[in-house]
Amino acid sequence: MSRRLLFVLGTRPEAIKLAPIVHGFRQYRDEFEVRVCATAQHRGLLDQVLAVFEIRPDYDLDLMRPEQSLFESTTRILAGLERVLDDARPAMVFVQGDTTTTFCGALAGFYRGVPVGHVEAGLRTRDLRQPFPEEMNRVLASRLAALHFAATEGAAANLRAEAVPPDRIVVTGNPGIDAVLYVRDGLQAGRLSAASLPEFDPRRKTIAVTAHRRESFGEGFERICRALAELARRADVQIVYPVHPNPNVRKPVDRHLSGLPNVALVEPLDYITFVDLMRRAWLVLTDSGGVQEEGPSLGKPILVMREKTERPEAVEAGTVRLVGTDPGRIVAEAVRLLEDTTAYEAMARVHNPYGDGRAAPRIIAATRSFLSK
């Protein structure tokens, strides 16, 4: 009997990390019927990923509004999902991560009595305000889910400590690593090609930057921009920064950084081109969750512009460092790497703390066994 599965996704990282699983399940057409619902909490960023992975949503709620508040996106997504669940009547709902779409997808499944599979379960900073609102979304998703796909043993331990039944937790690795390794290998083998990036000056070291966290809006972004402007004054550095479309990000970034020599502010890059940028970068400065996971797999040192991380594994291994949003600290940590080859080489090490590229098959196997009980 074919089981219908509904994947609910809304933002760029959810689509990147669910794509390998959607494609994986589609290899078993006699066993599973896959439907994809895009809430389109993001529009442009989501469409970029769906195009790269050739996923056409069966339902598109098209909900993004400029500068949407958490209240607006939460209520609209939840209301939209009621109709989708009524139409799809799935055997299981899949959500990924910690966004508003993740939380609403899990709640919607729970309201309809449909078991929820949570991909990337068990991440915790244990500070409900950092990252905000993602830490709360993860905690709530864990309460609502029936099957928990943890990327690491540490994430599984976090879930057990919250009394999630151990037989409902599966350590799978993060499917984001399936995606990044697929793209890295495709680029290396010439099967995939990236769009063109700004001209790189071979005499300068490229620092790739991304930043978008809500808890840094306002003063935090002012500080991040001041740090980037100071770094860009160095003759040995060039910065390539694909800017998140959120106006709370764009405005300070444009004010502080546009027109500076050595700084290329670019539109968000499609996933293949962004992986190419990370491959070619010397250092990555970010506050992104996904980029923290991908950096070690590409052997790139990552400085994380946040006070806390829910992804401690690479920090403990020494390839990711938390630097907060204080400009003095960000600049000092980047300069340390620029001037100390040993310190740089200790961080620029390929390892895979978040997955081996085979998370999707493990998630499929665990789902099959869960649904056949």
Q: Which residues are catalytically annotated?
A: 98, 120, 134, 212, 214, 244
Cβ pair 362, 175 in contact under 8 A: no
Which of ligand UD1, ligand UDP, none lies near 242, with the C-beta cut-off 5 to 8 A by kind? ligand UDP
Q: Where do the H-state alpha helices sit in the chain?
A: 12-26, 44-52, 70-88, 100-111, 134-144, 153-161, 175-189, 219-232, 247-257, 271-280, 289-298, 312-317, 327-339, 341-347, 359-371
Q: Which two tokens stand for residue 21?
A: 């699983």
Q: Where do the H-state alpha helices sit in 119-212?
A: 134-144, 153-161, 175-189
The residue range among 144-152, 214-222, 269-277, 295-303 that interacts with ligand UDP, by the rule CB under 6 A, is 269-277
Which of ligand UDP, ligand UD1, none lies near 41, with the C-beta cut-off 5 to 8 A by kind? ligand UD1
Taking each helix axis as running N to C, give the angle between helix 289-298 and helix 12-26, from 0 to 180 degrees, rounded to the nearest 10.
Answer: 60
Q: What is the CA radius of gyration of the chain?
A: 20
**Residue with smaller CB distance to ligand UD1, 158 or 210:** 210
Tell whether residue 151 is a contact of ligand UDP (CB under 6 A). Answer: no
The residue range among 164-172, 189-197, 266-274, 296-304 that interacts with ligand UDP, by the rule CB under 6 A, is 266-274
Tell whether residue 60 is a contact of ligand UDP (CB under 6 A). Answer: no
Residues 276-305 that bind ligand UDP (CB under 6 A): 288-291, 294
Tell me how far apart the alpha carbons of residues 43 and 78 are, in angstroms, rounded to a whole number.
Answer: 17
Residues 232-251 that bind ligand UDP (CB under 6 A): 242
What is the arrangement of strands in the sheet containing 59-60, beginning at the earlier edge strand? 59-60, 32-38, 3-9, 92-96, 116-121, 147-150, 169-171
**Residue with smaller CB distance to ligand UDP, 82 or 185:** 185
Tell whether residue 105 is a contact of ligand UDP (CB under 6 A). Answer: no
Q: Which two tokens stand for residue 254?
A: 């444009």
**Min CB(233)–ligand UD1 separation in Å:** 29
Which of ligand UDP, ligand UD1, none lies near 16, with the C-beta cut-off 5 to 8 A by kind? ligand UDP
**Min CB(13)–ligand UDP separation in Å:** 4
Locus of tokens 């990337």: 120
Tell whether residue 271 is a contact of ligand UDP (CB under 6 A). Answer: yes
Q: Which two tokens stand for residue 370?
A: 């869960």
Backbone φ and ψ of 2, nearest 5°: -80, 130
**Residue with smaller CB distance to ligand UDP, 158 or 210:** 210
Name residue 82's amino acid.
E
**Min CB(268)–ligand UD1 separation in Å:** 8
Among 104, 101, 122, 120, which residue's Cα sits nearest to residue 112?
A: 104
Interacting residue with ligand UDP among 149, 274, 282, 354 (CB under 6 A): 274
Tell me how far apart the alpha carbons of residues 230 and 234 are, in angstroms, rounded to a whole number.
Answer: 8
Tell whether residue 182 is a contact of ligand UDP (CB under 6 A). Answer: no
The residue range among 24-32, 135-143, 217-225, 263-271 that interacts with ligand UDP, by the rule CB under 6 A, is 263-271
Taking each helix axis as running N to C, give the angle between helix 44-52 and helix 271-280, from 0 to 180 degrees, rounded to the nearest 10.
Answer: 90
Sites of contact with ligand UD1 (CB under 6 A): 11-13, 41-45, 64-68, 70, 73, 98-100, 133-134, 212, 214, 245-247
- Write out the residues near ligand UDP by the rule CB under 6 A: 12-13, 16, 176, 210, 212, 242, 268-269, 271, 274, 288-291, 294
